Amino acid sequence: MSGEQDDNATRRQAIHAQIDENLKRVYDLAAAEELPDRFKDLLAQLKARDGAAKGDKEKGGEGS
C-alpha cells in the first residue's frame, strides 16, 4: 500500500519536472525568436523624442 503511494508521489514529481521542463522549452523557444523591427524602431523613436525634449526643454506637449 505505502509502496504504491511512494510510486504515486514519485510519479507526480516526475510529471511536475516534465511539465516545468517543457514550459522552459516553450518559453525559451519564444524568447529565441527573432524580434520584429517594430521594437527597435519604437525604442529609437522614443530615444529620439527624449533627445529632442532635452534639446528644447520647455516645448514638451508634442508627445502623444
Partner 1 sequence: MTTAAPADPRERLPDAIPRLRAFAISLARDVTQADDLVQDTILKAWSNMDKFDPASNLDAWLFTILRNTFYSSLRKTRREVQDSDGFFAATLSERPAHDARLALKDFQRAFDQLSPEHREVLVLIGASGFSCEEAAGMMGVAVGTVKSRASRARRRLTELLHLDEGEDLFSGTDGATRAVVLRPSSAAR
Question: Residues interacting with partner 1, by CB under 8 A?
Answer: 15-16, 18-36, 38-40, 42-43, 46-47
Q: How far apart are CA 33 and CA 29, in angstroms?
A: 7
Rounded least distance, CB 7 to partner 1, Å: 11
Q: Tell me whether residue 1 or residue 30 sits nearer to partner 1 (CB atom).
A: 30
Q: How far apart are CA 43 and CA 51, in angstroms?
A: 12
Q: How far apart are CA 27 and CA 21, in angstroms?
A: 10
Q: Tell me whether residue 31 or residue 55 sits nearer to partner 1 (CB atom).
A: 31
Cβ atoms of 49 and 63 within 8 Å: the answer is yes
Rounded least distance, CB 5 to partner 1, Å: 15
